[in-house]
Structure 1
Amino acid sequence: MDSTFERHCSELVARERSGHTAVVEDNLLYVWGGYMSIADDEILLPSNEIWVYDLERGVWQVFHMTGEVPPSMSGTCGCSLNGHMYVFGGCDDNGQTSQIYCVNLTDGKYTWRKMIHEMGSAPSPRDKLSCWVYKGRIIYFGGYGHKLLTDVDSRNRSFIVDEASWVEDVFWGWNNEVHVFDPMQASWAEPQTHGRAPAPRAAHASATVGCKGYICGGRVMETRTSDIHCLDLESWTWSEITPVSMTPVGRSWHSLTAVSDNTLFVFGGLSVDCKPMSDGWLLDVETKKWREIEHPFKNKPRLWHTACPGKDSDVIVFGGSCDYILLVDTGHCNDALVFQTQPYPLFRICEDYIAKNVRNFETLRSQLPLLPPKLLTAVQRKMSFYRPSKK
């Protein structure tokens, strides 16, 4: 995987952060929210700005956001649907929330809109949850949050109370609920699922492959797991994948990304013994085999980062912490790590090689005009990505 790289070439660089939201649209990485540490304080980052990273040119820009701006938050669940970014839940200065907001990423205005549902009931407040996008709807799973005593049913194992956290008639805990938001109908629904549901959890990771939503690991009460569960988004049936090979260690605050029609990529997280990790694994969901991959970021552990699919099966990891954030919480990052998970097509190999080496070889520079127009345009855009870093 020689083409794997890490860059933040532009002089303007997004601030360090963890617990943020990031999505990719048209080779642009959009980063919003999260928090950073200053001295002994945890500072939520401004909610009225969005950072945009051009994955081809390696250039950052920051834009002001207007409209019904959400509060500054961390631990929100973000996704991209039809050119819009949706954020739900998260934790602001007053605790967990249950609001959903939307912003158009394609019109250049970055105007927030608070979504008011017309049908159904919103989930209870929560953060550190995950979601899948399927057929124009957003399906949310799990998370850590609070419910009123009247809403906690001891016979229903969809919510496990955190015995260390309760105030009068308010209880905090983990859940394994499935909630569906339809932006076109402005409606919430809670489908009846079948099969054995995963244990309630938070700080897990999720990805969508075809009509199936996968979750991996997370914190289940006081433990961290590496189990894999699948929800069929047509029949709402749960199943667990039992690997037939060596599996990654249990973890939370990691990422899971779909990189092909049958392959998921897991990176980083916090291990069962509370160590930040930098390992990368591929899971073939058809053969049920895990395979650890080599990559050049073994010295860059990350947790509570984001991971987005890029072109040619790349995975773009941004931000996160390199510390055990519950104890140290100083090592927030702002670099973009780009993982190559599959062999590149010939066009991409040529584009990367020429752009990376054109400044070093006079002969290569003089022959640029001879390239096919499409390749020349791609190379010219990519050349700024490989310009010498000013670190």
Structure 2
Amino acid sequence: MDEEFERHCSELVARERSGHTAVVESSLLYVWGGYMSIAEDEVFLPSDEIWVYDLEGGTWRVFHMEGEVPPSMSGTCGSSLDGHLYIFGGCDDNGQTNQIYCVDLTDGKYTWRKIMHEFGSAPSPRDKLSCWVHGGRLIYFGGYGHKLLTDVDSRNRSFIIDETSWVEDVFWGWNNEVHVFDPAQSTWSEPKIQGRAPAPRAAHASATLGCRGYVCGGRVMETRTSDIHCLNLESWAWSEIVPDSSIPVGRSWHTLTAVSDTALFLFGGLSVDCKPMSDGWLLDTETKKWTEFEHPFKNKPRLWHTACPGKDSDVIVFGGSCDYILLVDTGHCNDALVFQMQPYPLFRICEDYIAKDVRNSEKLRNQLPLLPPKLQKAVQKRMSFYRPSKKPNLS
């Protein structure tokens, strides 16, 4: 792994941002929403544009979006299911929302559709929540938001009131609720949960492995934790994983990504002492052991970024902040960092070797037309990826 894994080598580059949504579909990274800092103002990014990064060619494109376009916001929860991007919740100029929108990423039209549910009740407005995708359904957990006084039950610890934020009969706070949305039926439901649930939280990280949803750390009232819990997405039973080794420090605004059938990769976040983090950790869910992961981006702390699983178990981290985001003029980022989690297949090693060296070898350039058309096209795309970087155009 070397500095060439930092992918920002096209003339057009997505704007820097934090609190955005990103998913990967067919070697394309889709980025939507979030906010950036301009002077002393925090400005939401336009909601009618989606940025697309070609992970093989190393180029950015931006597309105009139409239809029932959602408001510009940050902290929304984005998920990919059957080639569609679903977003739920988030915070716009009017505060937290509980609306859900969908856009097809495969037809090239990028037309938003606001989903009106047929049955059940939508969760209360919230942001900084997480989602597991399983069995064709979207399963949402936690977040920070508001409820009416009539909806707050002091005996029910699924919602903890933020004592610093309330207006008349409206209370803000953290929750540990589990809500299920079925896109095929357009229905909301709340499963009957078993076991001891994690404490209510927001700005945590989550990932799905098989039929299990994992949640790690986050903001729990006035603290940041590193605890990890598992929810069986079929029996709806919670269990806590107690590591038998050293553990990462408590944090929020980090990411957790599945990188194998049994391993989760944690990266970055904001520590308990408000320090932006750049450390990486691997959790073996079978042995319950954390292992610190060495990587080339130790000088690139990130929080409120996104992390997506890519080709060959890569993890693609995009955007986020390198500073404490409550500071004025926060240092938002727009680079994509690719973490190599597993040894690459021989074909990818050969393809990358040719793509990197063909510009320096006349012999390789002369032999390129001899390749089969499909392979020649793939190599030419990788050549574009490894061409010398140009100054980003952020206008």
User: 1:311 is matched with which residue?
Assistant: 311
Q: Which residues of 2 match residues 130-209 of structure 1 at below 5 A?
A: 130-209=130-209
On the 8 A contact 2:3/2:296 being kept in 1, the answer is: no
**Corresponding residue SS for 1:383:** helix
On the 8 A contact 1:174/1:200 being kept in 2, the answer is: yes
Determine the C-alpha separation between the residues in 2 that align with 1:359 and 1:222.
Answer: 54
CA separation of 1:53/1:173 partners in 2, compared to 1, >3 Å: closer, same or farther?
same
On the 8 A contact 1:205/1:218 being kept in 2, the answer is: yes
Determine the C-alpha separation between the residues in 2 that align with 1:336 and 1:223.
Answer: 29
User: 1:367 is matched with which residue?
Assistant: 367
CA separation of 1:3/1:345 partners in 2, compared to 1, >3 Å: closer, same or farther?
farther
User: 2:222 is matched with which residue?
Assistant: 222
Determine the C-alpha separation between the residues in 2 that align with 1:155 and 1:373.
Answer: 67
User: 1:280 is matched with which residue?
Assistant: 280
Determine the C-alpha separation between the residues in 2 that align with 1:80 and 1:280.
Answer: 24
Determine the C-alpha separation between the residues in 2 that align with 1:168 and 1:302.
Answer: 37
On the 8 A contact 1:224/1:272 being kept in 2, the answer is: yes
> Could you list the per-position Cα deviations for residues 154-186 of structure 1 after superposition, in whole angstroms to 9, with x for gaps in the alignment?
100000000000011000000000000000100
Determine the C-alpha separation between the residues in 1 that align with 2:346 and 2:242.
Answer: 36
One-letter amino acid of the structure 2 residue matched with residue 100 of structure 1: I
Matched, 1:14 2:7: no
User: 1:121 is matched with which residue?
Assistant: 121
Kindly state the Cα deviation for residue 363 of structure 1 after the two structures are TM-superposed: 2.7
Determine the C-alpha separation between the residues in 1 that align with 2:81 and 2:233.
Answer: 17
On the 8 A contact 2:115/2:186 being kept in 1, the answer is: yes
On the 8 A contact 1:4/1:339 being kept in 2, the answer is: no
Determine the C-alpha separation between the residues in 1 that align with 2:353 and 2:322.
Answer: 31
**Corresponding residue SS for 2:385:** coil
**Corresponding residue SS for 1:61:** strand
Kindly state the Cα deviation for residue 326 of structure 1 after the two structures are TM-superposed: 1.0
**Corresponding residue SS for 1:367:** helix
Q: Which residues of 2 match residues 18-167 of structure 1 at below 5 A?
A: 18-167=18-167
CA separation of 1:242/1:218 partners in 2, compared to 1, >3 Å: closer, same or farther?
same
Determine the C-alpha separation between the residues in 1 that align with 2:140 and 2:148.
Answer: 20
On the 8 A contact 2:207/2:213 being kept in 1, the answer is: yes
Determine the C-alpha separation between the residues in 2 that align with 1:389 and 1:58.
Answer: 10
Determine the C-alpha separation between the residues in 2 that align with 1:282 and 1:242.
Answer: 15
CA RMSD between the two structures = 1.2
Determine the C-alpha separation between the residues in 2 that align with 1:246 and 1:379.
Answer: 43
Determine the C-alpha separation between the residues in 1 that align with 2:243 and 2:374.
Answer: 43
Determine the C-alpha separation between the residues in 1 that align with 2:329 and 2:310.
Answer: 29
Identity of aligned residues (%): 85
On the 8 A contact 2:324/2:330 being kept in 1, the answer is: no
Determine the C-alpha separation between the residues in 2 that align with 1:4 and 1:359.
Answer: 15
Kindly state the Cα deviation for residue 7 of structure 1 after the two structures are TM-superposed: 1.5
> Could you list the per-position Cα deviations for residues 280-312 of structure 1 after superposition, in whole angstroms to 9, with x for gaps in the alignment?
111111111111111111111100000100010
TM-score by length of 1: 0.98
> Could you list the per-position Cα deviations for residues 80-99 of structure 1 after superposition, in whole angstroms to 9, with x for gaps in the alignment?
00010000000000000000
Determine the C-alpha separation between the residues in 1 that align with 2:144 and 2:330.
Answer: 23
**Corresponding residue SS for 1:265:** strand
Kindly state the Cα deviation for residue 142 of structure 1 after the two structures are TM-superposed: 0.1
Determine the C-alpha separation between the residues in 2 that align with 1:254 and 1:211.
Answer: 23
User: 1:356 is matched with which residue?
Assistant: 356
Determine the C-alpha separation between the residues in 2 that align with 1:2 and 1:374.
Answer: 28
One-letter amino acid of the structure 1 residue matched with residue 32 of structure 2: W
User: 1:267 is matched with which residue?
Assistant: 267
Q: Which residues of 2 match residues 285-364 of structure 1 at below 5 A?
A: 285-364=285-364
Determine the C-alpha separation between the residues in 2 that align with 1:377 and 1:264.
Answer: 34
Kindly state the Cα deviation for residue 325 of structure 1 after the two structures are TM-superposed: 0.6
Kindly state the Cα deviation for residue 386 of structure 1 after the two structures are TM-superposed: 0.5
Kindly state the Cα deviation for residue 364 of structure 1 after the two structures are TM-superposed: 2.7
On the 8 A contact 2:39/2:329 being kept in 1, the answer is: no
One-letter amino acid of the structure 2 residue matched with residue 250 of structure 1: G
One-letter amino acid of the structure 2 residue matched with residue 13 of structure 1: V
Deviates more, 1:370-379 or 1:129-138: 370-379
Aligned residues: 391
Determine the C-alpha separation between the residues in 2 that align with 1:34 and 1:205.
Answer: 17
Determine the C-alpha separation between the residues in 2 that align with 1:188 and 1:4.
Answer: 44
Kindly state the Cα deviation for residue 362 of structure 1 after the two structures are TM-superposed: 2.2
**Corresponding residue SS for 1:316:** strand
